[in-house]
Every structure is written in C-alpha cells, then in structure tokens.
Amino acid sequence: MILRSSDGLRWQVDTAGYVLGAGRGSRGVVSQAGEVAAVVRTNQTLDRESMYRLRRDAWLPVSDPRPDDDQAVWTINGMARSRQGWVAASSRSLDNAQSSQLWLSRTPRSLDLARVAAPPPPRQQAVVAPFEIARWSGAWRAIGEANDRRAVWSQTDDRGFGTPQALDLSAATNIHGLVTDEQSLPAYGSTTGGNASHATVWRSTDAKKFAASPRDTFEKVTLYSSSSIASLRRYGKLRIAVGDRTSNGDLNASALVYTSIDGRRWTAGEADRILTYHGGEAWEDVTDLAGDHDRKRSMRDVTQTSQEYLAVGSSEENGPSQATIWHSTTSRNWRSEVIGAKGFERSAVSSAATIGDRTVLYGWAGRRGETDTTPYVWTSGDRGVSWRGRAVGRPGEDADFLVATDTHFVITGATNEEVPHPWLLQSVDGASWRPLGLSGYPPAADRQTWLSDVEAEGSDLVLLIKTVAGTTARSAWVRQTVG
C-alpha cells in the first residue's frame, strides 16, 4: 500500500486508483522537486514494470519506448528527477541477452529513449583466469575469463596453452564445468537474467563457439525460479546432469536430475511418490527428489558402479543438512538414502568416484553450533550397499576435489591458514590415505595458491593452479603422476 501525509503526523492510505487495483502492486515510490512517481509491477504478467506519476489525487500511467508486443522481461532499476524531467534506468532480458536503457520524460505523460554519450573504454588490464579444464579432440581445453570476457584456451603442446579465444557469452553465464564428449565439448551451469536463473548446457563443435540450450530445456522459467547444473557425466552414450532447482525462492529447493542420449534432448528423472501422515491423516504427497517448506534436496555429482548409478548431495528433513545418495538402476527412477556422517550432526556430499567395486564420496561434516566444517570421506567396497566414513582434514579446511585415476583415488583440500595452500591425499582403496605432494608449489608465506580444477588422465593428474603474489595473479597447467 501507499500512505500519504501532508504534515508527517497524520497518514492515510492512498488506494492509488488504477495503479493499486486488483492484481497490481507498487514496488517503489520517489518524491523529488515537488513531484511523485512510482514503479509498478502487475501480477498478471509478472515481467513488466511501468512508471506512474501522481497528478493532483490521481495516478496516471507514463508511456515509454517499449513496443507493446515485446516479450522480454523489463525491470526499472531506479528513477530520479532532473532539470529536464524524470529519468528512469531500465534493463531488458530475453533469451540469455541483457541490455540497459535510460528513459527521459520530455512531456508529463511519456518517457523517451535518452541519447547518452558512450563512456570511455575501460583501461585494458591483462586479467586472465581459466577455471575449468577438459580433454577433447586430442587436446586439453580450458574455459574462463580474459579481460572481462568469457574465453577458451586450447593446448598447443605438452608445456601449455595458446592465447585465449574470446567467446560470445554474456556475464550472466555461470559455467561450473566442462565435459569430455565425442560429439562436442559441452559446458554446464546456469544463466541468470530477469529475476530468475535457469540450468544451461552449452555445446561446441570447434572449441571456439558455444551454443546454449533453449531456456526451458530443463525447468520452466518463471519469476524468481532458479535451477543449476552442478555436474554432468557421460557413461557410454548416456549423459546424466544433476543439480538443484526451485520455483519459489528457497521454499521448495529440490534435486534436479536429467538424462540424454544425444546431449540435446533431455528427460527429467522421477521418484516414487510417498504419502506422509500427520495425526493419522495423509497430509502431503512428496518424493525423494522434490522439496517443500520442510524438506530440501540438492544433487552435486553422480557416478556409476557395476550395478547402478549413484547421485550424491544433501537433504534436509525438518533439521540440518544430511549427506544423501540416490540410487537408480535405470537412470530414470531414483530412490534416496540418507547416510549422514558418524560423530557429526550435519553433512553433505559434493563429489563421487568409482574404481572397480570401490566407490568413494567426498564432502564435509560439521557439528551443531559450529560454523567450521571438516573434509569427510565415505567409502564403499560393495558397490554402494554399505558405507564407512571418516574425517580426513582439520576443522575449517575446505573440501575441494575428488578424482579417480586408473588406480588411485585423489582428494584435495585447502588449509585455513592466513595464507591458504592446497593439500592432496591419495588412496588405493579409499580407506587409508597418504599425502601427495604438489610438484613445484611448496607452501610460501608470500604466495597464495589455489586449485582451480583437477582432472585425471590415465595414471596422471592434470591440475589447473592459480597463484597470487602481491598484486600479480597467474594460472598454470601441471601434469603430475600418482602412485
């Protein structure tokens, strides 16, 4: 509602006539230079905001340069009174593309597109930050940022990569990883725009141009909806994508799982419906994938044993987060199992890997009332039927990567010291772990070191390492033998 007062002491509700009628709501009111303007969003479309001006006791609509048939999501980010009239800053989002405009009122009832001089070009800085790697078409590729642009690097020889190739991807793309695939080089993550984000897979056939999947490929995009792909794995012709989704903020956080044979058409996973009972009556119809106001599900990775597919992540049932796995023999129907972490009240799994009959899960565990978490490993020697867990780090340390070479599991983390430094552990069976040195990067008081990504090739690790010394940041590609 809008409250009005002439003296600041006595207030009355302003019904605002046309503006605050049925199905409409005010998002902001500004009063400057003796005039009042409001930004209004209608609940009928949920994707258009308009400006109204208060003239005497009536709210009058102000026309703007948008075409009536424009299907984009428009947001008015701010407005102010200038000498020439009202100025409104707007943004437009459609099909992963975003743009901004300034509108200027030259008459009392209209806003026109303002002509604004282009700002000077930014000072060029050599900012280079690759953050994901994958092997494709006989060479390693890396994707990241170079001079504020998404970019891709291709391996030129055994010593490193060539110059970055700029990509036609906006800053709204959130790339979480690359995948090795025969037909194309897929990237996965999410795209943000128009008060929503949606899960996205980008495909490239030349490692130079990436095409995004259609907007509603994984989940229908609505206002405030959100979905993202945390991991994408390939087993033969089958591709499995897992992550999380919600259609209403954080109130129904659910697990996302989709499968595809060709990497273009995706099919949603399913779970049996379960009736829950309260007071002897069936109260809710829930599944092992869907969340609601009392439940949350999130998938972070997936692996394949000799008997089934295992997705991993966390779930909440009227309490703290618990490490959770989902079983599926068909990749279509999924059944959850909470495994928790012995000696800890909260936990989550972030990654999974399998060698033969042994499967290792990696994540974190924490105690009630403590903010620090501890890296934690779960191990199964019977293809995921039973699990044993143990902490493998110190409280406050980060649990980063788990990969499997031909013969060894490798986990990585980072210390919680003032100058953080990564650590690596290796294991043949997932039960006993021993340190693995990071070749060429000993701890140093004047240099911070991070592992941006870790992959396996045969018996070797391929590491993407970032270092910061003073104001200088560098990235390096390192191959290291395990065992």
Those residues with Cβ within 8 angstroms of residue 127's Cβ, 6 or more apart along the chain or in another chain: 145, 146, 147, 148, 473
Nearest to 408 by CA among 352, 350, 464, 355: 355
Domain boundary pick from 113, 148, 164: 113
Q: Name the more confident of 172 and 108.
A: 172
- pLDDT tens for 372-389 read 999 999 999 998 899 999
CA distances from 215 to 73, 162, 222 (A): 13, 32, 11
Share of the chain above pLDDT 90, in %: 44
Q: Give, for 383, the enclosing helix (H) or strand (E).
A: none
Residues 75 and 49 placed together within one structural domain of the fold: yes
How far, in whole angstroms, is CA 133 from its chain's centroid?
A: 18
Asked if residue 9 belongs to a domain, the reply is yes
Least trusted range by pLDDT, from 12-26, 73-87, 274-288, 296-310: 12-26
Q: What is the pLDDT averaged over residues 10-34?
A: 51
Assign 170 to helix, strand or coil.
coil
Confidence band for 463, pLDDT divided at 50, 70 and 90: very high
Q: What dihedral angle (degrees, nearest 10) is formed by the CA atoms of 10, 13, 18, 23?
A: 150
Secondary structure of the chain: what % helix, strand, coil (to 5)? Answer: 0, 55, 45
Residues 193 and 98 placed together within one structural domain of the fold: no
Question: Are 196 and 216 contacting, i.e. CB atoms less than 8 angstroms apart?
Answer: no
Confidence band for 162, pLDDT divided at 50, 70 and 90: confident
Residue 30 has pLDDT above 60, yes or no: yes
pLDDT for 123 equals 45
Asked if residue 123 belongs to a domain, the reply is no
Asked if residue 399 belongs to a domain, the reply is yes
Residues 83 and 163 placed together within one structural domain of the fold: no
Q: Give pTM, 2 decimals.
A: 0.73
Residues 207 and 78 placed together within one structural domain of the fold: no
Q: What is the pLDDT averaged over residues 71-100?
A: 75
Residues 219 and 103 placed together within one structural domain of the fold: no
Residues 89 and 139 placed together within one structural domain of the fold: no
How many domains are contained in the chain? Answer: 2
Q: How far apart are CA 451 and CA 299, in angstroms?
A: 23
CATH number at residue 470: 2.130.10.120
Domain boundary pick from 58, 87, 113: 113
Asked if residue 384 belongs to a domain, the reply is yes
Q: How far apart are CA 482 and CA 355, in angstroms?
A: 15
Give the range of the structural domain holding residue 314, as residue numbers without chain letter: 128-481
Residues 475 and 443 placed together within one structural domain of the fold: yes
Q: Is 431 exposed, middle or buried (0-12, 13-18, 19+ CB in 10 A)?
A: middle
Asked if residue 120 belongs to a domain, the reply is no
Residues 184 and 42 placed together within one structural domain of the fold: no
Q: Give, for 22, the enclosing helix (H) or strand (E).
A: none
Residue 337 has pLDDT above 90, yes or no: yes
pLDDT for 356 equals 94
- What is the gyration radius of the CA atoms in the chain, in angstroms? 26
Q: What is the pLDDT averaged over residues 77-85?
A: 72
The C-alpha angle 280, 285, 287, rounded to 5 degrees, equals: 125
pLDDT for 299 equals 97
H-only helix segments in 90-140: none
Those residues with Cβ within 8 angstroms of residue 125's Cβ, 6 or more apart along the chain or in another chain: 147
Confidence band for 434, pLDDT divided at 50, 70 and 90: very high
Those residues with Cβ within 8 angstroms of residue 67's Cβ, 6 or more apart along the chain or in another chain: none
pLDDT for 18 equals 37
Give the count of alpha carbons within 13 A of 294, CB side only. Answer: 8
Residues 151 and 222 placed together within one structural domain of the fold: yes
Q: Is 401 exposed, middle or buried (0-12, 13-18, 19+ CB in 10 A)?
A: buried
Asked if residue 347 belongs to a domain, the reply is yes
Residues 337 and 302 placed together within one structural domain of the fold: yes
Residue 56 has pLDDT above 80, yes or no: no
Cβ count within 10 A of residue 195: 15
Q: How far apart are CA 49 and CA 27, in angstroms?
A: 9
Residues 159 and 273 placed together within one structural domain of the fold: yes
Residue 17 has pLDDT above 50, yes or no: no
Residues 408 and 374 placed together within one structural domain of the fold: yes
Share of the chain above pLDDT 70, in %: 82
Domain boundary pick from 113, 147, 169: 113
The C-alpha angle 12, 14, 20, rounded to 5 degrees, equals: 150
Q: What is the pLDDT averaged over residues 313-342?
A: 95
**What is the DSSP code string of 452-469?**
EEEEEETTEEEEEEEEEE
Residue 200 has pLDDT above 70, yes or no: yes
pLDDT for 294 equals 79
Q: What is the mean pLDDT of the chain?
A: 83
Q: How far apart are CA 365 and CA 348, in angstroms?
A: 7
Asked if residue 118 belongs to a domain, the reply is no
